[in-house]
Amino acid sequence: MSIVEVQQMVGNTVGQMSESLPALILVTAALSLTLAYFSKLAFRQPRSQGTDEKYPPHIPASIPVLGNAIAFGKSPIEFLENAYEKYGPIVSFTMVGKTFTYLLGGDAAALLFNSKNGELNAEDVYARLTTPVFGKGVAYDVPNSVFLEQKKLLKMGLNIAHFKKHVEIIEEETKEYFKRWGDSGERDLFEALSELIVLTASRCLHGPEIRSMLDEKVAQLYADLDGGFTHAAWLLPGWLPLPSFRRRDRAHRELKNIFYKVIEKRRQTTEKEDDILQTLIDTTYKDGRSLNDDEIAGMLIGLLLAGQHTSSTTSAWLGFFLAQERSLQDRCYSEQKDICGDHLPPLSYDQVKALTFLDCCLKETLRLRPPIMTMMRMVRSPQKVGDYTIPAGHQVCVSPTVNHRLRDAWSSRLEFHPERFLADNPAAGEKFTYVPFGAGRHRCIGENFAYMQIKTIWSMMLRLYEFELVDGYFPSVNYTTMIHTPSNPVIRYRRRERL
């Protein structure tokens, strides 16, 4: 959380509220109360109880209440790297009244990845954001044992037989989408990839019926739902009558209704599709109970949104890395010719898998720009780690971004160097130094889908165009969003001459 974000959040909130004075007063009152509460917390510095309990080093707060929010918000990675240098792998600091303890480096990260959900809890930190968006009965709204079962069911649907069809679908959608780009120009790459990925993900993960309904109105519903993933939703009480909360809740209801109708139709027809929706309709929990419509709809919304920002930012960054270094683009293109044949016929899933160098470029993009820069858990019972005890109430965090650029683990750590992934052991030493998809019980189930989707899209894009940076501008990181996006993400393209 950063001061910039807090300011923006308040700014946005106030902006949206101008139509309603009573609501504005409510928010102001709530904010003051929250601040008063936080300031009390901030002055209560943590103290170890007994002599054998040593809390992790605590970075002094420069400002009461906000703590280190300003420094962190300006440049979170630099802040964490400095903290690592100065205090070591386990370090606490306070922001807006909450204490965050970062586990930096692979060894320290093991505590989070190996933990039980009852001790380091995900629902406590994520549910306020996700439950209003996905709905009740799924993900962080249910006991983790149930969510684990839901993940298993979803994973069953994310299988190779389905991926084979997905490659065809994505190829078709990508060709269709880029018709609007013409032969050459300069365009917002991130915007284009976000639009394309809603279309492909919806068709692959939800099925043809729901994709066919994806017009501007439905896209707006997703955007409104997405508006639920903000720092405002994370910080402010959910009962506040904010317009963005109301839009989120209305979008949730309307989308659910669309899904209900499609599920109902599917349940009635005898002819069966072979896709993820059908898998969810036909499957049961371990105890034999079928999923109800609400659970299926919630899981489908979750599936789409979990993959949307992560995949679209990753694809955009990959594009800028390839545009920056022409030889990488050429190498990916010639790799396609080697594997698919000179005439570049339609892609197959096996070919997409075999594109090793493109794979390395994607891995390297996820190393330098992992979309989830922090994973977080609430400490429910005191945790011993090394010499320290992390008390209940801290939020422990692991940052893939920091682990992916540790001095000791990575050579040429800040350079885009995809060849490193051709080696068996790209990072020296510890286990959790490369974790773009997390690890342990909360690990991502979408990795294979994401690879298949992003590689198919970029294979097609490299067949269509050559890319370059606009006047050498490589986007800086936009830290104001929850997922770090490229700033001003415009790219230059020219149709490739087919030889």
CA dihedral 245, 246, 251, 256 (to 10 degrees): 90
Q: Which is nearer to ligand NAG, 8 or 348 (CB)?
A: 8
Question: Is position 444 annotated in a ligand binding site?
Answer: yes
478 lies in the site for ligand NAG, by CB under 6 A: yes
| Contact of residue 374 among ligand HEM, ligand NAG, none (CB under 5-8 Å per partner type) | none
The residue with its CB nearest to ligand HEM is 446
Q: With contacts defined by CB under 6 A, how many residues of the chain interact with ligand NAG?
A: 6
Q: Cα(455)–Cα(187) distance, rounded to whole angstroms?
A: 20
Q: Cα(308)–Cα(62) distance, rounded to whole angstroms?
A: 37
Using the CB atoms, write b or e for 444-469: b if 16+ within 10 Å: bbbebbbbbbbbbbbbbbbbbbbbbe
135 lies in the site for ligand HEM, by CB under 6 A: no
* Interacting span for ligand HEM (CB under 6 A) from 2-10, 164-172, 185-193, 370-378: 370-378
Q: Which one among 62, 145, 257, 488 touches ligand NAG, defined by CB under 6 A?
A: 488
75 lies in the site for ligand NAG, by CB under 6 A: no
Q: Which one among 241, 487, 494, 495 touches ligand NAG, defined by CB under 6 A?
A: 487
Q: Cα(387)–Cα(311) distance, rounded to whole angstroms?
A: 39
Q: How many CB atoms lie within 10 A of CB 34?
A: 16
Torsions phi, psi for 232 (to 5 deg): -65, -45
Per-residue x/- track, 430-469, ligand NAG (CB under 6 A): ----------------------------------------
CA angle, corner 368, sides to 363 and 373, nearest 5? 105
Q: Which is nearer to ligand NAG, 234 or 285 (CB)?
A: 234
Going by DSSP bridges, is the β-strand pair 490-495/184-188 parallel, antiparallel, or unpaired? antiparallel
* Interacting span for ligand NAG (CB under 6 A) from 266-274, 425-433, 444-452, 481-489: 481-489
Q: Which is nearer to ligand NAG, 310 or 433 (CB)?
A: 310
The CB-of-422 to ligand HEM minimum distance in angstroms stands at 21
Spatial CA neighbour of 438 closest among 407, 462, 404: 404
Q: Which is nearer to ligand HEM, 310 or 383 (CB)?
A: 310
The CB-of-420 to ligand HEM minimum distance in angstroms stands at 18
For the chain, first and last CA: distance in Å? 51
Q: Cα(112)–Cα(128) distance, rounded to whole angstroms?
A: 21
Q: Cα(414)–Cα(321) distance, rounded to whole angstroms?
A: 13
CA angle, corner 183, sides to 450 and 186, nearest 5? 70
The CB-of-388 to ligand HEM minimum distance in angstroms stands at 22
Q: With contacts defined by CB under 6 A, how many residues of the chain interact with ligand HEM?
A: 21
Q: Which is nearer to ligand NAG, 324 or 478 (CB)?
A: 478
73 lies in the site for ligand HEM, by CB under 6 A: no
314 lies in the site for ligand HEM, by CB under 6 A: yes
The CB-of-36 to ligand NAG minimum distance in angstroms stands at 29
Using the CB atoms, write b or e for 76-85: b if 16+ within 10 Å: bbebbbebbe
Going by DSSP bridges, is the β-strand pair 98-103/395-398 parallel, antiparallel, or unpaired? parallel
**Can you give the binding site for ligand NAG, defined by CB under 6 A?**
478, 480-481, 485, 487-488
> Which residues does the annotation place in the binding site for heme?
444
